[in-house]
Each structure stands twice: as C-alpha cells, then as structure tokens.
C-alpha cells in the first residue's frame, strides 16, 4: 500500500476520516439489496406490492395527516408523476384514498384506508423486527447513539442535496 492510497498511514487528506465510512455505506446498501430486505418484509406482511408502492404507503401511514402528492414525492425524494402512478395503483387496491384539501378545493390529499394502515403496519413491524434482531446484542446506549447519529446524517445529507438542487 502506498502512502497515497486510502487506509495507508501517511499525509492526511481533507476528508480522510470519512474513508472508513463510505465503504460501510456501500456495504449496507449492498447488503439490503442483496438480502432483499424490503422484498422479504413485503412477503412477511402478506403484501403483493413493489418497492415504490410500499414506500408511498409507508409515507402516508407515518405522516401526521393526509399528504399532497408533492409532499409524498418530497419525502421519498422522487418526482411527482411517479408518485401519482403509485397512488393510483394503491387506490385501486383500496389501500389509500383521496380526501378534499380543506385549504384548496382544487387539490386532494392522500391518506391510507384502514386496510392500508394495517398493511403498512405489518410491513413496518417486519422491518423493525429485522433491525431489532440485528441490534439485539448491542447495548442500549449504542442503539440510542445509532438512532441519533443516523437521524442527523440523513437530515444533513438530505438538506445538503436539496441545497445543491436549488443551485441547479
């Protein structure tokens, strides 16, 4: 290994402390994809939904109230037309419904039906059970630190990417 290569002892680069983090993020992403975590949770919940549809359903289930299409898209970091198609498919299955927006009669909001809430809850229970099992041997303080730091990382990365998009 040369002094210039990652992980070698030698001159520090401006971001050398992050060199150990990037491969771990990639490792987690690959593990989730290869392990089919979402697909396994969908199956365990008894649902026949694809990844985008379950994402929309969970987004509306975990919201504090009904959401506009644009709000769902923002939460999921995708474009509105993609969400519109998913919402239409979920409506046909009776998992979400449109309700009138009390602030704008021309607009509608999306909320889960009772069946949609139950389906999302089964999915979330499966996902959370998987993570609980993976972290079962961790001390409570480590689990608390993970939740706090992961939340901070996700919020900061999302905010920074939003600023970059605003600059474009």
Q: Give 138's Cβ-side CA count (13 Å radius).
A: 13
Instruction: With H, G, I as helix, E, B as strand and everything else as coil, classify residue 75.
Output: helix
- Whole-number percent of the chain with pLDDT over 70: 93
Which tokens sit at 89? 């498919």
d(CA 81, CA 87): 10
Q: Which residues pair with 111 in a beta bridge?
A: 97
Q: Between the CA of residue 98 and those of 39, 136, 168, what are the distances in Å?
A: 27, 40, 33
d(CA 58, CA 123): 8
The CATH class of 37-134 is mainly alpha
pLDDT digits (tens, 9 = 90+) for 50-60: 989 999 999 99
pLDDT digits (tens, 9 = 90+) for 75-94: 898 888 899 999 999 999 99
10 CB contacts (<8 Å, ≥6 apart)?
Answer: 2, 3, 4
Spatial contact of 83 and 57, defined as CB atoms under 8 Å apart: no
pLDDT digits (tens, 9 = 90+) for 89-108: 999 999 999 999 888 888 89
Segments making up each domain of the chain, as ranges: 37-134, 136-168
- In this prediction, residue 2 carries a pLDDT of 45
- In this prediction, residue 114 carries a pLDDT of 97
pTM here is 0.76
pLDDT at 6 over 60: no
- In this prediction, residue 163 carries a pLDDT of 87
Averaged pLDDT score across all residues of the chain? 88
Handedness of CA 43, 140, 149, 14 (dihedral sign): negative
Of 153, 160, 156, 163, the closest CA to residue 21 belongs to 153
Task: Please compute the mean of the pLDDT values over residues 49-70 and round it to a whole number.
Answer: 94
């Amino acid at each position: 290994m040369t002094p210039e290569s990652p992980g070698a002892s030698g001159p520090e680069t401006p971001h050398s402390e992050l060199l150990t983090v990037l491969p771990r993020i990639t490792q987690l992403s690959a593990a989730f994809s290869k392990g089919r975590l979402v697909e396994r949770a969908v199956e365990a919940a008894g649902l026949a939904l694809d990844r985008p549809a379950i994402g929309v359903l969970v987004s509306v289930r975990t919201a504090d109230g009904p959401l506009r299409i644009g709000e769902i898209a923002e939460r999921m970091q995708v474009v509105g037309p993609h969400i519109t198609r998913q919402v239409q498919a979920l409506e046909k299955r009776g998992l979400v419904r449109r309700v009138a927006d009390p602030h704008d009669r021309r607009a509608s909001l999306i909320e889960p039906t009772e069946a949609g809430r139950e389906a999302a809850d089964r999915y979330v229970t499966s996902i959370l059970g998987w993570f609980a099992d993976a972290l079962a041997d961790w001390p409570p303080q480590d689990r608390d630190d993970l939740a706090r730091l992961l939340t901070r990382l996700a919020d900061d990365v999302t905010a920074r990417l939003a600023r970059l998009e605003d600059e474009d």
